[in-house]
Amino acid sequence: MLPHATRSGSVPVDGRRSAAPEADRPSARTPALTGPGEHGTLRSRGLAGGLRMFVRPALDKMPATDVSLGRLRALTSGAGRAAALETTNDWSSDGPVPGLWVGRKRFFHSDKVIFHIHGGGFTFGSPWSHKALASRIASETGVPVFLPDYRLAPEHPHPAATEDTLAGWEWLLSMGFRAEDIVVAGDSAGGNLALQLVAALDRDNAPMPAGVVLLSPWVDLDFTDMTARDRARKDPFLAVGLAELCRSQYAPGVDPDDPAISPIKYVPSPDWPPFLIQCGGEEIFSGGIEQLAERFAEHGVRHEFQLWPHQFHVFQVFHPLVPEAKLAVRDIGSFVRGCLRD
């Protein structure tokens, strides 16, 4: 099923134009995907069903121990590394925050870069876990991706991840990249950190990135809405208990209404860069993400919000399997190319 999209302001696009604004994205220029009504394609529904039947129960039963966290870290990193398009390991320890370059050898002469902040509930995930997604985005855009290896909780609780995100941004600038030649991207917890970066740049009146891509961003660390949604219909992938554990390890004792951990509480500015926000209709984060899009519209932030019916959390990582995910990544490419167009 194709996304329900809303826009506010002039949002960059690249490719064939149409008189209808909704026809600018690849997802709006393609024939409707095969699927019964609003239920998505067969592959999409099959994968969501498998996640709900096998993965979600395992995450619900996972004990809150260091051993479990270590296994989760190893599993996510190994899966991302195995699925990546390229086998080269372009690791950089030159800056204050080490990280992984993806696509730099393919697009060596590019003076532009995507600064992608990986997700994982602030407690797991790594540049390796997101190498496959970054590789696909690099191919779609013709732009290399840098994934910072920011510090994780519980070893390094808040504000370590935010500090590393800001340090990684400053390092890219010191490398000679101009702010207007950088697109910031983030998924899940990484989307939270991307918003923290934009808010910090706004406070300092510093140059903004050319654009921001948010994939299923975790923008509200209050669990009231998430718990209600999960009781009404179980999220195929996100386990509320695991998310609560991640929050307690990431920001112990911090008020969930503090914008430093819940960026939904910031008052956005029309001076913020354009945003592309993608969200799965089945995920428990969707309430907070929809509220973020509403706040952007209210405060004049240029943005495009795509709600993909019956998709799950960060469904884009399944781009090799799911037609909707492949199309969503193509939309990301369209947005990024539009932001970085000379």
Residue 17 has pLDDT above 60, yes or no: no
The pLDDT assigned to 33 comes to: 55
Catalytic residue among 140, 282, 283, 324: 283
Q: What's the pLDDT tens digit per position in 216-259?
A: 999 999 999 999 998 888 888 888 888 999 999 999 999 999 99
Q: What's the pLDDT tens digit per position in 245-303?
A: 999 999 999 999 999 999 999 999 999 999 999 999 999 999 999 999 999 999 999 99
Q: What's the pLDDT tens digit per position in 105-157?
A: 777 678 999 999 999 999 999 999 999 999 999 999 999 999 999 999 999 99
**Stated pTM of the model:** 0.91
Catalytic residue among 8, 27, 135, 188: 188
> 149-172: b or e for each residue (b if 16 or more CB lie within 10 Å)?
bbebbeeebbbbbbbbbbebbebb
As a whole number, mean pLDDT of residues 197-225 equals 97
Beta-sheet pairing, 99-102 with 303-308? unpaired
Q: Catalytic: 163?
A: no
> For every residue of 204-238, which 3-state class applies, written as one string?
CCCCCCCEEEEECCCCCCCCHHHHHHHHHCCCCCC
Instruction: Give the integer Cα–Cα distance in Å for 249 and 269.
Output: 31
Q: Catalytic: 180?
A: no
Per DSSP, the chain holds a count of helices (H) and strands (E) of 11, 9
Q: Are 335 and 211 in contact (CB under 8 A)?
A: yes
Q: Among candidates 201, 64, 202, 54, which has minimal Cα distance to 121?
A: 64
- Confidence bin at 174 (pLDDT 50/70/90): very high
> In sequence order, which residues have a C-beta less than 8 Å from that of residue 108 and are 6 or more positions away?
none
Q: Are 143 and 110 in contact (CB under 8 A)?
A: yes
- 3 vs 218, residue with greater confidence: 218
